[in-house]
Amino acid sequence: MLRRNGLARLHLKQSWRQLPIAQAPVSRVRFAWYSSGRSIKRLTVQEAERKLIQLDTDAPHIRIQLRKLASIPSGEILAQVQTQAPLMRANLFLPSRSPMDIRDGR
């Protein structure tokens, strides 16, 4: 349905919102963009190799990565780091002036 309406690449965060509710009275709310979020996944050497092989193995940068991956022991745990899209963050201030951080409506 989204594709038919020209929204095939709509991100989940753009299609719904959740309203957070503060557990205590709030004296002030400040909004700011949070842009330093990262997603980190554990990866085995074999999984990394499979992911690289699915790409264009004729590309020089893929061949370099496969070569370097071959020199890593098979028991080594790797990390796949992906930068996440910026999101709006609300900082809630209680009357005692201590900030309570609310991220993504949680």
Tens of pLDDT, residue by residue over 37-63, are: 888 999 999 999 999 999 988 999 999
Band of residue 81 on the pLDDT scale cut at 50, 70, 90: very high
Domain boundary assignment for the chain: 20-36+87-106, 38-83
Pairing of strands 28-34, 87-93: antiparallel
Span of 5-9, 32-36, 82-86 with lowest mean pLDDT? 5-9
Instruction: Output the CA torsion sign for 96, 98, 99, 100.
Output: negative
Q: In this structure, what token pair is assigned to residue 60?
A: 């020089």
Distance CA 102, CA 46 (A): 38
Please give the helix or strand (H or E) that residue 41 lies within, else none.
Answer: strand 38-44
**Closest C-alpha to 37, from 87, 99, 91, 106:** 87
Determine the pLDDT at residue 105: 44
Task: Note whether 68 and 52 are within 8 A (CB).
Answer: no
How many percent of the chain have pLDDT more than 70?
79
What does the mean pLDDT of the chain come to? 82
**What is the mean predicted confidence (pLDDT) over 1-27?**
73
Mean pLDDT over 19-38 rounds to 84
Angle CA 91–96–97, to nearest 5: 40
Of the pLDDT bands very low, low, confident and very high (cuts 50, 70, 90), residue 83 is confident
